[in-house]
Amino acid sequence: MPWQDNSDGSGSKRPEGEGPKNPWGDAPPKRPVPQRGGGPGGTGGPGNDIEAFLRRTQDKLRDAIPGGGGSGGGGSNINPGRVAAYGVAGIALLWIAMTSTFRINAQERGVVMRFGKYVETVGPGFHFKLPAPIDTVLKPKVEQVNSVDIGASDGAAENLMLTGDQNIIDIAYAVRWKIKNPELYLFELAQPEQTIRETAESAMRSEIGKARLNDAIGPQRAQIAEQVRERMQEMLDSYRGGIEIRGVDIKQADPPAAVDEAFKDVSAAQQDAQQALNQSRGYAQQLLAVAQGATAAFDAVYAQYKLAPEVTRKRMYLETMEDVLGKTDMTVIEPGSVQTYLPLSEVQRRAARSAAAAPEAEKAK
């Protein structure tokens, strides 16, 4: 056949050992194998090094995948379905590794549910579970103290209640609470905060309805707050709410805004009345002390009188006469003590008049 001709086209025979000539012409020269570096006979370019590296990487990948066909020059035997299966398996393993562990902080508790059913409650630390969506974990903060404000202490809204003496009071307060039982808190109450708010309203209205207005806005506020806390705890325990009420703080307890001025006038009048009452009590205590002192003095004199009646009687007479006659101009001398009556008081007046008239006489001369 013509394409098996051994001549080289010039009439001479092809040297022995060479293959048959390509009927479409001479074969293209074989591509030189790139050499590393820039030595003789090699290309030495960076692009060729990168191509060689990528080619070797592809060959190794074919060898690693079953049915890859090796690194030969034939076509690739990679099975796309098998590659997809391996990819899905890798993603599944990664998902299992990421969703099979969980961590609970110090103020939290971990409530584990399996297909939505409660399994267990775990404490702080690192734990394992079945991968999602088989097991899911809720992490309520059991150590955090929450607060619910009811009413407005800034006067923006009124929270009116009726007291036991048929008066109206505007009250604002806050309820502090925390989670006591995580599973009861999560599964027994649909809206825990709303339940706490309504329970507080009910307990507060019940206690305010038993108290008088003056007590509710004054000395019994702390006692009312404690009674509200106890009543709320009883109600929430009966609901199996898993909630602990830590305290109730009454921030405002005032009459309604419409009667606030009149109430202030009444309060001022009550304070004035109380002040007058305190003053009268003080004056009564003072008079009582004086009377008790006089009584003690009389008792002492009476004790001396019983020991020496005549001497005591005379002493009392003399002291009494001294008090009575000490403010008069009269001098009394008892009979028998002197022979002549001396008008001492008249002599004293005359001497005083003479002393006053002496300067005038000197001026006249």
Q: N- to C-terminal Cα distance for the chain?
A: 197
The CA distance from 63 to 183, in Å, is 55
Give the tens place of pLDDT for each residue, 259-308. Answer: 777 777 877 888 889 999 999 999 999 999 999 999 998 888 888 888 88
Within a domain: residue 66? yes
Structure tokens at 287: 């008079």
The CA distance from 326 to 320, in Å, is 10
If phi > 0 it is left, if psi is from -120 to 50 it is alpha, else beta; for residue 27 that is beta
Within a domain: residue 235? yes
> For all residues of the chain together, what is the average pLDDT?
78
> How many domains does the chain fold into?
3
Q: Which residues, in sequence order, are CB contacts of 244 under 8 Å at separation 6+?
A: 177, 178, 179, 180, 233
Contact of 139 with 210, CB cutoff 8 Å: no
The CA distance from 170 to 258, in Å, is 11
Q: Are residues 172 and 194 in the same domain?
A: yes
Q: Are residues 243 and 183 in the same domain?
A: yes
Q: Are residues 195 and 228 in the same domain?
A: yes
Longest C-alpha distance within the chain, in Å? 208
The CA distance from 129 to 101, in Å, is 6
Within a domain: residue 198? yes
Chain centroid to Cα 200, Å, comes to 18
> CA nearest 207: which of 226, 189, 190, 183?
226
Residue type, 285: Q
The CA distance from 127 to 365, in Å, is 132
Q: Are residues 164 and 239 in the same domain?
A: yes
Other C-beta atoms within 10 Å of 350: how many?
A: 11
Give the tens place of pLDDT for each residue, 305-364. Answer: 888 888 888 888 888 888 887 777 766 666 665 555 566 777 778 888 888 777 776 766
Q: Are residues 112 and 158 in the same domain?
A: no
Domain limits for position 82? 45-70+78-99
Q: Where are the beta strands (DSSP E) in the chain?
A: 101-104, 110-114, 117-122, 125-128, 135-138, 146-150, 160-162, 168-179, 243-254
pLDDT at residue 41, as a whole number = 42
Residues of the chain with pLDDT under 70: 1-48, 50, 54, 57-58, 60-79, 153-157, 330-343, 361, 363-365
Which CATH number fits the domain that encloses residue 234? 3.30.479.30
| Residue 269: C-alpha distances to residues 162, 167, 355 (Å) | 24, 18, 65
Q: Are residues 114 and 92 in the same domain?
A: no
Q: Are residues 90 and 188 in the same domain?
A: no
Q: Are residues 168 and 229 in the same domain?
A: yes
Element (H, E) at 165: none
Q: 86, 120, 138 — which closes off a domain?
A: 138
pLDDT at residue 265, as a whole number = 82
Q: Are residues 251 and 150 in the same domain?
A: yes
The CA distance from 73 to 139, in Å, is 59
The CA distance from 126 to 143, in Å, is 18
Give this prediction's pTM: 0.51
Structure tokens at 293: 């002192």
Contact of 140 with 182, CB cutoff 8 Å: yes
Q: Are residues 121 and 159 in the same domain?
A: no
Within a domain: residue 308? no
